[in-house]
């Protein structure tokens, strides 16, 4: 599938900002399952945009505005083609204990995705869920898919009740939140069970696409108006497999990856600092259009 994606972030300062510095993670990743054919970032006021690849392999752009400005607008546009990806999870016939044993030779490279991180802590409730859904003698693939379904069925997607700083323990208190919270919780459960798991930031086609040639049509998917979030688990056979508990599915051609990390703190679309009044008004618009 081919998508054209436009992502615009606008900051308005009631009092002029004296200067600002920002990091942008807006360009989707190139991988076996997707290819970026075009990407452009425009900044207002116009400044030089520099780029680098971060520790996790994500494309990062940086901007610095050294003068007064009342408004900052970051516009990103890209064309991405997603491809079918073989299901590397369901065919695995082994237990979780056997999978953990097979991870031993790669524990150093998987270390970051097995440990607690800023938003992901192994609180007692997480240990209880891991013991219930991912016990050592349970089948690896079926248990992960069952956990994905359980979170979808027992948690409520409700924007506005959490924010970008909400951690797993806070989310478990209300059991209401957004895709970021769903992903953080499932990652925490997997890590407690000894299964490497990482956070994925990206886009999802939420609107139902046109009916297929056979008359069928896939349904509407749940996702944020800005970026979506899901997770990937590492299989003993060496593949990262995506799971989306917000929609009770594996990731597919309607998912577009931007970046990966330990949790949201590693891959926010935009973060930075500015000097001036604390007040600011933020507007974000994302448009994801499927192309023929």
| CA neighbor of 242 nearest in space, from 148, 150, 166, 176 | 148
Same domain, 142 and 164: yes
**Is this structure's pTM higher than 0.75?**
yes
Q: What CATH number does residue 120 fall under? A: 3.10.620.30
Residues 132 and 34: their CA atoms lie apart, in Å, by 35
Same domain for 175 and 63: no
Quick one: average pLDDT of 97-113?
Answer: 95
Cα separations in angstroms, 229 against 136, 248, 281: 27, 13, 24
Please check whether residues 256 and 278 belong to one and the same domain: no
Q: What is the pLDDT of residue 226?
A: 75
In a domain, 75, yes or no: yes
Cβ proximity of 29 and 57 under 8 Å:
yes
In a domain, 91, yes or no: no
In this prediction, residues 149-160 reach a mean pLDDT of 95
Task: Label residue 263 left, alpha or beta by phi (over 0 means left) and psi (-120 to 50 means alpha).
Answer: beta
Predicted confidence band of residue 216 (pLDDT cuts 50, 70, 90): very low
Q: Write the secondary structure of 77-135 as one string of H (helix), E (strand) and C (coil).
A: EEEEEECCCCCCCCCCCCEHHHHHHHHHHHHHHHHHHCCCECCECCCHHHHHHHHHHCC
Q: Do 167 and 236 belong to one domain?
A: yes
Same domain, 107 and 230: yes
**Per-residue pLDDT at 90:** 80
Average pLDDT over residues 53-77: 96
Shared-domain flag, residues 159 and 138: yes
Position 47 in a domain? yes
Please check whether residue 192 lies inside any domain of the structure. yes
Residues 244 and 125 placed together within one structural domain of the fold: yes
What is the pLDDT averaged over residues 239-260? 96
Query: Residue 212 pLDDT > 70, yes or no?
Result: no
Which range, of 55-69, 86-100, 139-153, 190-204, averages the lowest pLDDT? 86-100
Assess whether 103 and 212 both reside in one domain. Answer: yes
Cross-sheet strand order for the sheet of 240-244: 249-250, 240-244, 228-234, 197-204, 255-261
Residue 136 maps to a domain: yes
| Domain around 32 | 2-82+269-291
Average pLDDT, the chain: 92
Residue 138 and residue 281 in one domain: no
pLDDT, tens digit, for every residue of 155-207? 999 998 998 889 999 999 999 999 999 999 999 999 999 999 999 999 999 87
Q: Give the range among 60-64, 190-194, 288-292 with minimum mean pLDDT.
A: 288-292
Higher-pLDDT residue of 215 and 69 is 69
Residue 87, domain member (yes or no): no
- Counts for the chain of helices (H) and strands (E), in that order: 6, 15
DSSP 155: S
Cα atoms found within 13 Å of the Cα of residue 97, Cβ hemisphere only: 5
Residue 89 lies in a domain: no
Q: Indicate the pLDDT class of residue 218, thresholds 50, 70 and 90.
A: low
The first and second tokens of residue 5, run together, are: 């994606």
Looking at the fold, whether 121 and 61 belong to one and the same domain comes out as no
Residue 78: pLDDT above 70? yes
Tell me the CATH number at 78.
2.60.40.2250
- Whether residues 69 and 140 share a domain: the answer is no
Mean pLDDT along residues 130-146: 97
pLDDT of residue 215: 43
Query: What is the pLDDT averaged over residues 263-291?
Result: 92
- pLDDT for position 213: 46
Domain count, the chain: 2
Rounded to an integer, the average pLDDT of 252-276 is 95
Give yes or no: residues 193 and 228 share one domain: yes
Q: What percent of the chain has pLDDT over 90?
A: 84
Q: Is residue 88 part of a domain?
A: no
């Amino acid at each position: 599938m081919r998508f054209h994606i436009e992502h615009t972030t606008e900051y308005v300062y009631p009092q002029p900002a004296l200067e600002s510095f920002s990091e942008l993670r807006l360009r989707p990743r190139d991988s076996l399952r997707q290819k970026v054919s075009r990407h452009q970032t425009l900044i207002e006021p116009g400044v030089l945009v520099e780029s680098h690849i971060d520790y996790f392999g994500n494309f990062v752009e940086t901007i610095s505005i050294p003068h007064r400005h009342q408004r900052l607008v970051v516009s990103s546009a890209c064309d991405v083609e997603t491809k079918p990806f073989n299901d590397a999870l369901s065919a695995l016939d082994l237990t979780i204990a056997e999978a953990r044993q097979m991870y031993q030779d790669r524990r150093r490279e998987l270390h970051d995705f097995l440990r607690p991180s800023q938003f992901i802590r192994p609180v007692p409730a997480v240990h209880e869920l891991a013991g219930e859904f991912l016990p050592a003698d349970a089948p690896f693939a079926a248990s992960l898919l069952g956990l994905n379904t359980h979170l979808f069925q027992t948690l409520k997607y409700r924007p506005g009740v959490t924010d970008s700083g909400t951690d797993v323990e806070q989310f478990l208190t209300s059991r209401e939140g957004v895709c970021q919270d769903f992903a953080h919780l499932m990652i925490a459960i997997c890590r407690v069970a000894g299964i490497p798991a990482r956070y994925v930031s990206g886009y999802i086609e939420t609107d139902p696409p046109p009916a297929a040639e056979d008359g069928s049509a896939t349904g509407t998917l749940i996702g944020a108006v800005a970026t979506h979030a899901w997770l990937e688990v590492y299989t003993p056979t060496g593949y990262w497999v995506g799971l989306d508990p917000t929609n009770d599915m594996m990731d597919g051609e309607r998912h577009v990856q931007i970046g990966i990390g330990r949790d949201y703190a590693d891959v926010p679309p935009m973060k930075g600092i500015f000097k001036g009044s604390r007040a600011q008004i933020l507007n974000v618009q994302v448009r994801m259009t499927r192309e023929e």
